Amino acid sequence: MTARTSLRSVAESRGFDVGAAVDADLLRNDAGYWKLLRREFTTVTPENALKMGPLRPSPDTYDFGDADAVVNFGLEYDMTVRGHTLVWHNQTPEWFEEWAYTDDGIEGFLRDHIHTVAGRYRDKIDVWDVVNEAIADDGSMRETVWYDAMGEAYLDEAFGWADDVTDADLYYNDYGADGINEKSDAVYDLITGMLDRDVPIDGVGLQLHALHDEPDPGSVAENVYRFEDLGLDVQITEMDVAYPEGEVPEDHREQQAQYYRSIVEACLDTGCETLVTWGVRDGDSWVPGWFSGLTDDPLLFDGSTPKPAYHAIMDVLAEGSD
């Protein structure tokens, strides 16, 4: 391959975006972190700072400090900025008591939140995950405060409200729907219905947290194709790869590298032009804090040291670059 100085330079020469979820505190306080992020990635996603809970410390207050830090960093270094997320069933504000609202009150609360947050970043955020994880693991609609108050129409309204105030591309995002399976079929049916109702949706985010198994790359590609056939873009939005401690493959970092490579190859084959890892360095990953019994090295960097997964992505992107 042609010698390159960074993953970012290879990705840019290939017309491909490689991104990472970003922690605002590390961005402010760890020079090694932000220099690595600036050098190696083309896309940033605020990991938590744009979720409703962190943004809303009190009923009448928004705190945009952390979100602004990540968004402005992306703008300063000419990076694509993904907004995550406007509507989710988790990380609602601690003070938010849904039983204190009527259904109409819930609808007004959500509308005002989306108008305020998406409107603030109208010309700064390029892509929004408008609704996150609306489908349960069994393929049914997830029971959430938003669904209980508004039914499935909450998705239609959320995308419409976002479209009112932002120029960003608007995405539906979910986990466990990466390949062809019961859940991805349900996501497909959900989005097909939204398109039939002329809901302004531009794309689908496949999270691809490969934490207990590795979705088959061929199935992932097939899934990407069917969403693209609906006229939608598809992005891999939250990728990481870890293994159960009792089933760790020999040379598991090499297997991890091969899996990252196979997913990038599937992206290139299908026209999916963005892959975002959920974090920058292994030591900052969310995985050890949320899952017991998994390897603790799911990302592309061990400290500042590029891992085999990093080089695998570099190689596959360089194979077709100028």
Where in the sequence numbering do the catalytic residues fall? 133, 238
DSSP 163-199: HHH--SEEEEEESS-SSSSHHHHHHHHHHHHHHHTT-
Query: How many CA atoms lie within 13 Å of 164's alpha carbon, on the beta-carbon side?
Result: 13
Residues 135/142, Cβ–Cβ less than 8 Å: yes
Tell whether omega for the bond before 85 is within 30 degrees of 0, i.e. cis.
Answer: yes
Task: Say if residue 28 is exposed, middle or buried (CB neighbours under 10 Å; 0-12, 13-18, 19+).
Answer: middle
In single-letter form, the type of residue at position 169 comes to: D
Q: Please report how the helices 65-76 and 31-40 are oriented relative to each other, as an axis angle in degrees rounded to 10.
A: 50
β-pair type (301-302, 80-87): unpaired
Taking CA atoms, 243 is separated from 99, 108, 310, in Å, by: 40, 43, 18
Task: Note the Cα 200 to chain centre separation in Å.
Answer: 19
SS3 244: strand
Taking CA atoms, 251 is separated from 129, 216, 255, 259, in Å, by: 35, 20, 7, 13
DSSP letter assigned to residue 252: H
What is d(CA 65, CA 25) in angstroms, rounded to the nearest whole number? 11
